[in-house]
Chains A and B, each alone.
Chain A
Amino acid sequence: MAEIDFDSVTKVFAGGKPAVDELSLHINDGEFMVLVGPSGCGKTTALRMLAGLEEITSGTLKIGGSVVNNTLPKDRDVAMVFQNYALYPHMSVAKNIGFALKIRGDSKSEIKRKVDEAAAILRLEDYLDRRPKALSGGQRQRVAMGRAIVRSPQAFLMDEPLSNLDAKLRVEMRLEIARIQRLLNVATVYVTHDQVEAMTMGDRVAVMKDGKLQQVDTPQDLYDRPANEFVAGFMGSPPMNLLPCQIHPGADRVEVHFGEQVVELPLSYVDSHDLPPAGADVVLGVRPEDVLITDAGVANTIKTRVERSEALGSEILVHLSHADALDTSLSAGERLRLDFSRRATLIAKLGPRTKVTVGDVLSVQISPEHAHFFDAQSGETLRKKSS
């Protein structure tokens, strides 16, 4: 077991821009670190560099305190679980699990003992003599896990191991992997593009975009205190609403202007944020669950129009537009055209029995404690580091 250190690690493929750009990340011993980001963000490349399957262009990579930049994969003592499992098709489950031990030169009795142990942990005892093609997706995934855990490596590396499973099995295996990781307490780097996996499995989550690390934090802190617009929009389903607006910090409150409409937020935002001068453009971020429907006539609300609603059983996602919601001067033809072209700008997460229909005009309030402000140009949070 060991700590892992990425120190300004960069990977540039021939003739391209950096796939991983100056990545600095420390993974503690026994920690479950999730690398998450959209396709092409460099998360898998970072993992492959850690495994030794890609050369490092610059920077230093350490496992257990030793620099491994030029160490062969077999000498790094890490185990990897691949997206397509990569089971050896001509070997039985038992031989698949014990293969690394056989190469290492362990005795037959030792291999059998460790394979049986791993099979018990993964509930694979009844399948040890089968070939991989005779297993279901979930069982194959467990064999791939078995192949990793049997080696008692310094670190587990997992490259989107659940992406080939159906939704139900994915939830089961998510819990299973988390259980095994806790049981073995080995540093784990888990790559996924699924933010639900990242939120539910990771002790900490590292969000990447375009090869750059955006933020590393616990799942809850990532959700509550995103470092920039990208993280705010990536973590959470549905994502955070990001609304361009003008800000007017006043003596006793902060006014936020959406065109003609104005919302007032508490003055505490002035202390906790580096807000720009009055009239400056900012981006207001608000989570869908923090968009509250209120009665008409209540002060400090935005008038919106329901563009569509999605009933998910446990909740309803309502897509709202706030521009022209109240514009009654439009002709019938113009209104009809708008009905088709109007873009929803705000998503609200409502209770399952809320009655809304498309075309309803709703007054919504932004939960005063849970607003986020981002710089309109850089997209970085305006929240002060200390707060």
Chain B
Amino acid sequence: MTTLQTPPNETERVDTMTPPSPRRPKVGRWILFGVMVVIAVVMLYPFWVMIATSLQSATQFLSGGGFSWLSWSTLTSVIPVGQEVLSSTIVCSASIALILAVGLPAGFAFSKLRYRASGMVFLIMVSAMMVPLQAILMPEYVNVTKLGLTGGYLGAILVYAALGTPFSIFLFSTYFRGVPDELIEAGIVDGLGYFGALWRLVVPIAIPAIATVTVLQFIQIWDDLLVGLLFIQNTNERPITVGLAILAAGRTTSIPALMAGSLISALPAMIVYLIFQRYLVKGLTMGIDR
């Protein structure tokens, strides 16, 4: 009688041939862990200082110990924190909405539509990224003043949108180049126009790029002082960064109150970053694998 022999298990054989070396990976992991801890400490230490300092009175801060909510009540009595956070939120949201509203169609057009001199127009548009705000501040200010928009939010919103749009066009056009033409053509044959294809087919799959633009622009606009200071002159519409600058520039600056204000100012940017961080890496590394 013939008997069938079971072939030796391939996986087992490989395992016995290459015995695991337990030391090397463990050492590597501990070194990596140590480096990560050091980086985390360096990154988190300023936040710890902010939190700890904000929970002291000015006297306690100078003496180096104690706990008090006084600085928070000082802060709210000196500057209208709620109003300023709301102003920053309005300016940020409106600017980002404008950047997305312009950047998405422009990025789509540059990446997917063929027309004369599109490459040159794209180059000119994107080269605006290299112009720093300080270099064009004076003409910007003159233009916005002539338009009568220096009082409230609108002037600042337009300036932020103008500064952020070239980057968003660059990012979106890079992202959209990775979207197959066939997908858009399928939508067009199915009955969509170009705008329909953009909003209904391309935007839903461009979430990482939209998140990247949103986070980076939010952090930039939220933290900016210069534009808010120059273009929002109504005191009841000024953003939080201007409020903190005024607090810092006072004759008697309360460091704990300033830290409390800084903490309030830093939190929204951190929250936005944490919400969108999973898209951020994908958005920033897109195109690398092609």
Interface set of A (CB-CB < 8 Å, partner B):
51-53, 73-74, 78-80, 82-84, 86-90, 99-100, 103-104, 147
Bound CA–CA A99/B189 (angstroms): 11
* Shortest CB distance B204–A (Å): 4
Q: Which residues of B contact A53 (CB under 8 A)?
A: 185, 188-189
Residue contact A88 to B201, C-beta cutoff 8 Å:
yes
Residue contact A86 to B180, C-beta cutoff 8 Å:
yes
Q: Which residues of A contact B101 (CB under 8 A)?
A: none
| Contact partner, A86, options B186, B191, B193, Cβ 8 Å | B186
* Shortest CB distance A196–B (Å): 24
Residue contact A82 to B190, C-beta cutoff 8 Å:
no
| Contact partner, A84, options B182, B192, B205, Cβ 8 Å | B182
**Total cross-chain contacts (CB, 8 A):** 50
**What range describes how many residues of B lie at the interface?**
10 to 19
Cross-chain pairs A/B with CB under 8 angstroms, 5 sampled: A74-B193, A79-B189, A80-B189, A82-B186, A147-B190
Bound CA–CA A147/B204 (angstroms): 20
Q: Which residues of A contact B204 (CB under 8 A)?
A: 90
* B180, B187, B191: residue with the most chain A Cβ atoms closer than 10 Å: B191
Q: A51-B189, A74-B188, A74-B191 are contacts. A103–B180 as well, Cβ < 8 Å?
A: no
| Contact partner, B190, options A74, A84, A89, Cβ 8 Å | A74
Residue contact A89 to B185, C-beta cutoff 8 Å:
no
Residue contact A103 to B182, C-beta cutoff 8 Å:
no
Residue contact A74 to B189, C-beta cutoff 8 Å:
yes
Q: Which residues of A contact B188 (CB under 8 A)?
A: 52-53, 73-74
Residue contact A100 to B180, C-beta cutoff 8 Å:
no
Interface string of B161-189 (1 = CB under 8 A from A): 00000000000000000001011011111
Bound CA–CA A74/B189 (angstroms): 5
The 6 A-B pairs with the shortest beta carbon distances in the complex, nearest first, are A86-B186, A86-B182, A100-B190, A103-B191, A74-B191, A90-B204
Q: Which residues of A contact B185 (CB under 8 A)?
A: 51, 53, 80, 82, 86
Residue contact A80 to B205, C-beta cutoff 8 Å:
no
**B196 interface residue per 8 A CB criterion:** yes
Please give me the residue from chain B that is nearest to A75 by CB atom: B191
| Contact partner, A80, options B183, B186, B192, B196, Cβ 8 Å | B186
Q: A86-B185, A88-B183 are contacts. A103–B205 as well, Cβ < 8 Å?
A: no
Q: Which residues of B contact A89 (CB under 8 A)?
A: 205
Residue contact A103 to B190, C-beta cutoff 8 Å:
yes
Please give me the residue from chain A that is nearest to B193 by CB atom: A74
